[in-house]
Amino acid sequence: MASKPWHLSRRTFLQGSGVSLALPFLECMGADPVTRERPKRLCAVYFPYGIVQRQEGTEAAQWNWFPQGSGRDYRFNKSLAPLEPLRPELSVLGGLSHPNGRNMGGHDTADTWLTAAELKEGHLENTVSIDQLAAMRFGSQTRYPSLVLSSDGGVGEPTRSSTLSFSRTGQPVPAQHRPRQVFDRLFGVDPRSLRTQRSSLDRSRSMLDLVLDDSRSLQARLGDQDRRKLDEYLASVRQIEQRVGRSQQWLEVPKPAVDASGLHLSADDTTPGELIQTMYDLIYLAFQTDSTRIATYQLGNMNGATSIAGKYPSLLGLSGNMHQLAHNARKGDAGAEPLGHWDRFLTEQFSYFLRRLRETPDGDGNLLDRTLVLYGSSNSQTHVNLNYPLLLAGGRGLGLRHGSFHRFGDEIPLSNLYVTMLNRLDVPIETFVDSTGELTEILA
């Protein structure tokens, strides 16, 4: 369909006195020029070590993460009570897990939450995560194909990763963990001239080309094990090369101007409340400005001994770190309340994020209507890789039906949910790892 006379490109920007500012999304800009429809988005948020699960009827059961009842008549317990106003926007999912993860070590499964792969001794090679599959599909339509965040940052180590995202070849995608750096990457203005930036990117591209060219002659002289190691290294080099190429493509497109006055960009691991909220704010702003449509956020990894995030509960006045709270909750009813308070704190932060998305207009709906937000863990209790606690929010404009607590049996793999989500995002996929079909219970 031909553009109307008053149609503006999404890349239109204002110029004056040597300053360029990107325009916000305006109705006269119409649909996205590539997709011809409003963006579809995916966000996945992970917390480690599991939740409170005590026998119904006991005093400690008031802190159970999973609600009472089922279907549309369920009742939230204290841990998820902050989500009550958002009930029409979400589904609680019980009973799902990855079959490949059921026999893995209790602290090994965060790596595979979005991949469904099996990691075992002597074979710690992961596979692609669903967020990166989506990024391959429409990441080229935004400045950044995905936004990867975590409390610890980097990649961590196999089975104790500090990222939820894994590339096409199963390589971990490094996570960012400092709010100021994330903000500067998304919205910061490079003080260098365009000519200087372009020259710097050209030099980087040339050096990467030389590395890749030299590797071809080296590979022929290596044994199998060394060749595999070199392939892993070169996969990382190619990722950098792709990032350089994207930077070149977007060099002359100004970054969106956003108001940072309400952000706690100096928050760090000593202020967990401000830090988590700010990370959610950054994801929200990235979605609102269409800087990316894919985001993952790991609230804590499974490396209890060294994780930066492990101390968050104790900084909030609770009796122990994340790992200790989870273990103590299994020992007796007295341990349920501290972990329940931690679960509720995380729920409050997550509820804040969902409300921001819901309160932001987007076409004839809001941002949450066209965003799929997965929240949960790969442990029901610490070291138990069954019955993952999971929430799926948003996506009512993508064909989802919410408002229920669904209980599934072990025969339904979590990958069925992933196939359902990817298809709603227009990532056409029939199977994902061990899937057996779609999760039709959540479809409108």
pLDDT of residue 247: 57
Give me the sheet containing 371-376, strands edge to edge: 147-150, 294-298, 41-46, 371-376, 390-393, 90-94, 405-407
Residue type, 77: N
Between CA 64 and CA 405 the distance in angstroms is 14
Distance from the Cα of residue 241 to its chain's centroid:
23
Between CA 225 and CA 228 the distance in angstroms is 5
Between CA 225 and CA 232 the distance in angstroms is 11
pTM: 0.84
pLDDT of residue 49: 94
CA angle 242, 151, 375 (to 5 degrees): 90
What is the DSSP code string of 253-303? SPPPP---TT--TT--TT-HHHHHHHHHHHHHHHHHTTS-SEEEEES--S-
Report, in this order, helix, strand and coil percent for the chain, each rounded to 5.
40, 15, 45
pLDDT of residue 139: 84
pLDDT of residue 196: 72
- Other residues' Cβ atoms within 10 Å of the Cβ of residue 68: 14
Distance from the Cα of residue 308 to its chain's centroid:
19
Q: What digits encode the pLDDT tens for the residues 203-243?
A: 656 665 666 666 666 666 667 677 666 666 666 666 666 66
Q: Which residues of the chain have pLDDT under 50?
A: 1-8, 10-29, 31-35
The count of residues in the chain is: 444
pLDDT of residue 121: 82
